[in-house]
Amino acid sequence: MSRTGGISGKTPTGLPATIGAMRQDPTAFRLPAILNSLRACPLFAGVSVDDLESLAEFVVLKAVKKGGYLFHEGAPAEGFYVVQTGSINVHRVSPTGREQVISVFRAGQSFAEAAVASHGGYPADARAIEPSNVLLVPKADFIELLRKRPELALRMLASMSQHLRVIVGLLDDLTLKDVETRLAHWLLKRCKKPPGAAAQLIHLEGTKRVLAAELGTTSETLSRTLAKFRDSGLLIVSGKAITLPKPIAIEQLLRRNLGEV
């Protein structure tokens, strides 16, 4: 018998001691969940458990409702973010009110890392496109950790370089290709294997409105382009599922539009 009067290893309620402690202290679940999220983020790949635990001590877990904003363009930068669950749409709004999606970040991905090295505000808006949980890595605390672990700075440079390549690719799509070509390119990038004769299934993770913004067009133009592809037998749309009966046909269309054939 234990001093508490329960069976050894259990609380008086009969629960195992560890579970009883977690129920009494809900924050006991916080650290393992945060550690798992940090471990899944490429930015922290190869970082030791001790360093991840040091990082987890000061990150802030935030819940964001669908349509809720994490920050707006020009707002003072508090730090950068890691998506735990859900998805975050990072975008800019033109003077005419048109929204251009820079990227949609999902579980395991980090964004706004440039905030750590910048004295300015955030360069874009960030909005949840579904109920989401994110980890805020506060700027001041992270800079202090970088002083102790300078190799993390190199990892951040690699991550920001990847984001820059995405933005350059986005600019290329928007300036050099029409909507039909951009849609074909978007579909091919999401094929799970090289295009061929076998059908492939693509799931839309957001709404068609978000996809339209990502492609730099309107919902109406996207709907017309999807209908054109459907009538040509290039795809079948069912809810949020897009089936490409012959992905190689999409590839051929893309190459023709780019003048490669």
* pLDDT tens sequence across 2-60: 434 433 344 444 434 433 433 444 444 578 889 999 989 888 877 778 888 888 999 99
The average pLDDT across 91-99 equals 83
Tell me, what's the pLDDT at 51?
A: 82
Domain boundaries, the chain: 26-175, 178-257
DSSP codes joined into one string, 15-31 = SBHHHHHHHH-GGGGHH
Phi first, then psi, for residue 218 (nearest 5°) are -100, 165
Tell me, what's the pLDDT at 83?
A: 95
Give me the CATH topology for the region 178-257.
Arc Repressor Mutant, subunit A (1.10.10)
> Mutual orientation of helices 179-189 and 247-257 as an angle, nearest 10°?
140
Tokens encoding 238: 């069912």
Which residues, 6 or more positions from 204, have their beta carbon under 8 angstroms from its beta carbon? 211, 240, 241, 242
Tell me, what's the pLDDT at 211?
A: 83
Percent composition of the chain: helix, strand, coil (DSSP 3-state, to 5): 45, 20, 35
Tokens encoding 78: 């508090």
Q: Which tens digit of pLDDT belongs to each residue from 82-94?
A: 999 999 999 988 8
Tell me, what's the pLDDT at 45?
A: 77
Tell me, what's the pLDDT at 185?
A: 85
Q: Which CATH number fits domain 26-175: 1.10.3720.10, 2.60.120.10, 3.40.50.620, 2.40.30.200?
A: 2.60.120.10
* Predicted TM-score (pTM) of this structure: 0.66
* Range of lowest pLDDT (62-76, 120-134, 191-205, 211-225): 191-205
Cβ neighbour number for residue 35 with a 10 Å cutoff: 16
Percentage with pLDDT > 90 across the chain: 30
The average pLDDT across 82-110 equals 87
The average pLDDT across 191-207 equals 79
How far apart (Å, rounded) are the C-alpha atoms in residues 144 and 91?
29
Tell me, what's the pLDDT at 22?
A: 37
More confident residue, 76 or 257: 76
